[in-house]
Amino acid sequence: MAATTDGTEEHTSAPGSAPPARRRGTGRLALAVSVFGELLITGGLVLGLFVVYSLWWTNVLADRKADREADRVRDTWAHRTGGGPGALDTGAGIGFLHVPAMKNGEVLVRKGTSTKVLNDGVAGYYTDPVKATLPMSGKNGNFALAAHRDGHGAKFHNIDKLRKGDPIVFETKDDWYVYKVYDILPETSKYNVKVLASVPKESGKKKPGRYITLTTCTPVYTSRYRYVVWGELVRVQKVDDKRTPPKELR
């Protein structure tokens, strides 16, 4: 405290200290930085939890549901007699896809490719904008399928592991349909429905045949483009009493 020329006293700051007003301003700034930092941490935690939910927990839930539906299908097969395409459609699924290169086990196949269907951890066959030809019909056409690549079961996550010549096997109540991969399109527009055509000319085919097409999103963790794999039927193997899988799956 120091005397002034008019005899009053004046408060002074200690040497090296900031004026009171400046200290209050610094305190507000520090508080704002602290609050902002806490918001960033909270936001990071929320984002991290969302990623865990999207890429892990949805897989857990979808796999559980798919397993229950698969058990229903196999139970129906075990108690149903008679053949023909109509006897194969249980309502819960029409069969199982086996792709050794993807290391995804057996994948239940159901009707439709909507999010509601695929989120159950299954593969779905197209009904729109192009109608898939089911192999059980015995007709030429394209058995076109889709499944998620990430989250909700991620059944086609390893689709990029497939190579030309790899087997793709579709199992029904009465038959094993063995396909062989003959062409791959790593990236195309998600609006390119020509890849689903009955005769997939983009794969180089010009004549009717019995084809299979697998589609999913790409790059990984995005849905910007589509990844496409084409296969052609090489043989049909009858299911025996022990459901012995074809040699491609042993």
Catalytic (active-site) positions: 148, 217
Q: Which of 47, 50, 51 is nearest to 39 (CA)?
A: 47
Angstrom distance (rounded) from CA 137 to CA 198: 14
Terminal-to-terminal C-alpha distance of the chain: 94
Q: Give one word for 151, left, alpha or beta, with left for phi > 0 and alpha for psi -120 to 50.
A: left
Helix (H, G, I), strand (E, B) or coil at 146: strand
Cβ contacts of 238 within 8 Å, gap of 6 or more: 174, 175, 176
Question: By the 8 A CB rule, do 125 and 109 touch?
Answer: yes
Angstrom distance (rounded) from CA 156 to CA 159: 5
Helix (H, G, I), strand (E, B) or coil at 113: coil
Question: By the 8 A CB rule, do 70 and 84 touch?
Answer: no
Q: Which of 166, 169, 150 is nearest to 158 (CA)?
A: 150
Question: By the 8 A CB rule, do 119 and 132 touch?
Answer: no
Question: By the 8 A CB rule, do 95 and 88 touch?
Answer: yes
